[in-house]
Amino acid sequence: MNKKLVIIDGNSLMNRAFYALPDLMNKEGLHTNAIYGFTTMLFKIIDEYNPTHMSVAFDLKAPTFRHKQYENYKAGRKKMPDELRVQVEPLKELLDAFKINRLEMEGFEADDIIGTVSKIAEEDNFEVIIVTGDKDAIQLASNKTKILITKKGITELEIYDYDEVLKRYELTPDQFIDLKGLMGDKSDNIPGVPGIGEKTGIKLLKEFETIENLVQNTDKLKGSVKKKIEENIDTALMSKRLATIVRDMPVDIDIDELKLENYDEQKIIKLFNTFGFNSLIKRISMNKEVVEEKDIKSVLINNDNIDFVIDEIKKKKYMYLKTVTKKGNILDKNIIYMFIGLEQDKVYYINEEICILKLKDVLESEEIEKYGYKLKEEYIALRSYDIDIKNMKFDIVIGEYLIDATSSNYLHDNLAAKYMGKNINSEEELLGKGKKAKKFEELEEDVLVKYFNNLIEVVIGIKNEMEKTIDEYEMQELFYDIEMPLIEVLGYMEYEGFKVDIEKLEQLKEEYSTIIKNLEDNIYEMAGEEFNINSPKQLGVILFEKLELPIIKKTKTGYSTNAEVLEKLRPEHEIIDKISEYRQIVKLQSTYVDGLLNIINNKSKRIHSSFNQTITTTGRISSTEPNLQNIPVRLEMGRNLRKVFIPSEGYSLVDADYSQIELRVLAHISDDENLIKAFESGEDIHTSTASKVFDVDIKDVDSEMRSAAKAVNFGIVYGISDFGLSKNLNIPAKKAKEYIDNYFDKYPNIKKYMDDIVEKAKSDGYVSTVLNRRRYIPEINSKNFIVKNLGKRLAMNTPIQGSAADVIKIAMVNVYKKLKEENLKSKLILQVHDELIIEALEDEIDEVEKILKNEMENAVNMKVRLSIDLNTGKSWYETK
């Protein structure tokens, strides 16, 4: 095999990566962009060139022989920024894990090491590849040595071999040194001959070949060039010496030591993990010669032999579980396979309904713990078989969400890479993506079996370590008592759905269509032409070019036409009102009326939203397809839509919402005496805040003061800034700052909370809720002012929003449990952050209200009491 050496200029490449990539950080706030860029480059080079030998050369801090020759060498160079400096040692550690040789030598620069090693390698008949961001290395090009230089960014490389240098510079690589001697080098502070640049330099060297020859023959020059050279002979010679890369350093280098060995995979994965390089973890396992590919034997179980599996489950008292379903109605039987794992290498699967039904007992047994991946899917899939799965005890997706709520990827292949260092076939690799994506039911059985066997084994492989982390983070209560039981509650709400009045919805559709049509006509007439009102771009042209209205604000793509801008333009032209109205109704029509009509379940005639438990960074749940957490309420026109959300025959809706839960949570966390007192007094909280901030008697607070105070309270919850408040209240920032200062004066412990939590985020890297839910805030250590300030607001807001989320989740679990215990027919069907909705049987309304009040107000014990408002009605609209 050909011997091939890749030698990299470590400092140079790190530098390039550092400046080319945005400021990446891991969750503890370690900057990682240079490491990341370097590593991707490393992968690329290994992939493309497949070297047998490799080394990375680094500069050391100590002065080199060049400094001794010329005291100004590299003078004036900026020192390495701290954000880059902190990445050097971790990168070296990573290289060690890769078993890639590192070279550094006191008194010499990386370039000299590279020059010396490449020479030794050339003599030993190696093919040599030098990777650097610095053009100086071009002098080393030869017919055996290629120089790769990073182009813009770091992913693109320019290749210089001997011929390429000749072509580009009309000089040999050796002459490149002379050229630099003449031109000098700003970044190294090599003087060169003043007034001689690249053009003249090349011309001279083409004629005289070297500087030495040139200075001997200055008589052949004329004019200003002659003068410049003659006056700078010594400088030119010295500059050439400085620019010459040493190729014979007095060292013994055994090139065999640069040989690539098998890298330490576990260590690399561990390091990638701390850096947060999840995508690279996948790549590292892919790069392995042999991907672990043992024959997977999940055992197919049928009706004749399933009893022995059931016995085994009962003995173990747990089961790992995954159902595979075909696409279809949530209410139908859709399971095509069910996988059951008991331990590593012991996975069974079934594909007959009769077998599923035989498992009903163990699935519904409180004694048998269920472990899995996205267990809500199992709950829902089994409901149509009349199986009510119990004791879902461990879900690795929920676990990972608690460990890192800012992660955007909880897919099993990613978790396998992180926890097990394994490269697993992902769902996207199995099914494809986008429009061409296949469905599970379209795949061959053996392919599916292999995939789901892997998935089960991932859950088995991860559970133990994840348990330890949950213990370490003291999240046992949050995980086992709240988030895990919540899975069933959310699954239940999805399966039950929310009834809608379809006729009413269709009637609204007609009404809105007529209004929209009229508005369109009006707007076209006022504009003098037809255009797409829904296009901000076209609308912008009409408003700001044709009608020449004043430009209030710009977006990065053009004119802003949002509601705030339109409000300011209102007095300018009568078209504005029509556009605002049009926007409002089109929104209602497209998102809500059409959106809802599209998604009504044809069997239940109800809406089955999906509730996601692992999306938000603060701990809230989110709702999709449709989003039932943003149904209009603020404006009457939109609020009417709530009339279509109705209970079943014989039922009513009972709606319970927490009063000021976030401010109450804040009072508790901050232990602020005044805010606690304000809640105890029973006084309206915004009025009470107004009386403090504006220093007037409660009875003298007018509505303007109250609404200003309300904005201040919102600001406090969001992580206050004078700018934000001033914008919201439309007052000068100075005035806003006065309000804030006043507020903190009157509520000193809140001020203390804000200061302390920001400090905590800085020192620990994360903040926590009352139940130890955690969010990492790397933003807070950013050098970027904007990002850092965002970090501060996140630190202030997350414990408040997150603790409120904790509280309502506890209430949900307890309300759900209570309804079940008491065998009530009433159903919990929706949560909207601080609000629960129960579809209550008429006869049970009193009991349901009692349960809601009791469980919600006593969900946690805080320094201020929690309070809810209760409303009952025949539509969501009526429960106000």
User: Rule CB under 7 A: which of 422-481 touch DNA?
Assistant: 434
The correct pick among 383, 620, 773, 809 for binding DNA (CB under 7 A) is 620
Examine residue 705 and tell whether it contacts DNA (CB under 7 A): no
Residues between 787 and 816 with contacts to DNA, criterion CB under 7 A? 789-790, 793-794, 797-798, 801
Rounded to a whole number of angstroms, the minimum distance from the CB of residue 565 to DNA is 7
Q: By the 8 A CB rule, do 123 and 293 touch? A: no
Examine residue 378 and tell whether it contacts DNA (CB under 7 A): no
Rounded to a whole number of angstroms, the minimum distance from the CB of residue 587 to DNA is 4
Of 631 and 859, the one with the shorter C-beta distance to DNA is 631
Examine residue 237 and tell whether it contacts DNA (CB under 7 A): no
Nearest CA-CA partner of 35 in 51, 15, 55, 52: 15
Compute the distance between CA of residue 590 and CA of residue 579 in angstroms, rounded to an integer. 16
Rounded to a whole number of angstroms, the minimum distance from the CB of residue 507 to DNA is 19
The strands making up 318-325's β-sheet, listed across from edge to edge, are 299-300, 346-350, 335-343, 318-325, 369-372, 392-395
Rounded to a whole number of angstroms, the minimum distance from the CB of residue 782 to DNA is 11
Rounded to a whole number of angstroms, the minimum distance from the CB of residue 555 to DNA is 3
The correct pick among 75, 159, 251, 635 for binding DNA (CB under 7 A) is 635
Which region among 89-97, 176-184, 587-595, 848-856 touches DNA (by CB under 7 A)? 587-595
Of 57 and 795, the one with the shorter C-beta distance to DNA is 795
Q: Kindly report each contact of residues 403-408 with a partner whose C-beta sits within 8 Å and lies 24 or more positions away, as own/partner.
A: 403/466, 403/469, 403/470, 403/473, 404/27, 404/776, 405/614, 405/616, 405/617, 405/618, 405/619, 405/773, 405/774, 405/775, 406/27, 406/617, 406/775, 406/776
Rounded to a whole number of angstroms, the minimum distance from the CB of residue 730 to DNA is 11
Examine residue 615 and tell whether it contacts DNA (CB under 7 A): yes
Examine residue 616 and tell whether it contacts DNA (CB under 7 A): yes
Examine residue 534 and tell whether it contacts DNA (CB under 7 A): yes
The correct pick among 224, 329, 513, 630 for binding DNA (CB under 7 A) is 630
Examine residue 719 and tell whether it contacts DNA (CB under 7 A): yes
The correct pick among 159, 437, 447, 563 for binding DNA (CB under 7 A) is 563
Rounded to a whole number of angstroms, the minimum distance from the CB of residue 563 to DNA is 4
Buried b / exposed e over 487-518, threshold 16 CB at 10 Å, is bbbbbbbbbbbbbbeeebbeebeeebeebbee
Q: By the 8 A CB rule, do 69 and 13 touch? A: no
Name the residue with tokens 């209004």: 515
Compute the distance between CA of residue 643 and CA of residue 30 in angstroms, rounded to an integer. 52
From the CB of residue 94, how many other CB atoms can be counted at a distance below 10 Å? 20
Residues 6 or more apart whose Cβ sits within 8 Å of residue 634: none
Compute the distance between CA of residue 600 and CA of residue 605 in angstroms, rounded to an integer. 6
- Beta strand residue intervals within 363-442, DSSP E: 369-372, 392-395
Q: By the 8 A CB rule, do 276 and 26 touch? A: yes
Which region among 263-271, 314-322, 532-540, 751-759 touches DNA (by CB under 7 A)? 532-540
- How many residues can be counted in the chain? 880
Rounded to a whole number of angstroms, the minimum distance from the CB of residue 406 to DNA is 8
Taking the mean position of all CA atoms in its chain, how far away is CA 239? 50
Which region among 316-324, 326-334, 496-504, 610-618 touches DNA (by CB under 7 A)? 610-618
The correct pick among 634, 649, 699, 734 for binding DNA (CB under 7 A) is 634
Examine residue 867 and tell whether it contacts DNA (CB under 7 A): no
Rounded to a whole number of angstroms, the minimum distance from the CB of residue 70 to DNA is 37
Binding residues for DNA, rule CB under 7 A, total: 72
- Distance separating the N- and C-terminal Cα atoms of the chain: 80
Which region among 167-175, 189-197, 200-208, 609-617 touches DNA (by CB under 7 A)? 609-617
Examine residue 191 and tell whether it contacts DNA (CB under 7 A): no
Examine residue 632 and tell whether it contacts DNA (CB under 7 A): yes
Compute the distance between CA of residue 225 and CA of residue 214 in angstroms, rounded to an integer. 12
Of 354 and 635, the one with the shorter C-beta distance to DNA is 635
Of 175 and 726, the one with the shorter C-beta distance to DNA is 726
Examine residue 22 and tell whether it contacts DNA (CB under 7 A): no
Rounded to a whole number of angstroms, the minimum distance from the CB of residue 770 to DNA is 17
The correct pick among 720, 750, 758, 811 for binding DNA (CB under 7 A) is 720
Q: By the 8 A CB rule, do 371 and 319 touch? A: yes
Rounded to a whole number of angstroms, the minimum distance from the CB of residue 722 to DNA is 7
Ramachandran quadrant class, 168 (left: phi over 0; alpha: psi -120 to 50; beta: rest):
alpha
Rounded to a whole number of angstroms, the minimum distance from the CB of residue 519 to DNA is 14
The correct pick among 264, 638, 824, 857 for binding DNA (CB under 7 A) is 638
Compute the distance between CA of residue 808 and CA of residue 618 in angstroms, rounded to an integer. 13
Ramachandran quadrant class, 605 (left: phi over 0; alpha: psi -120 to 50; beta: rest):
left
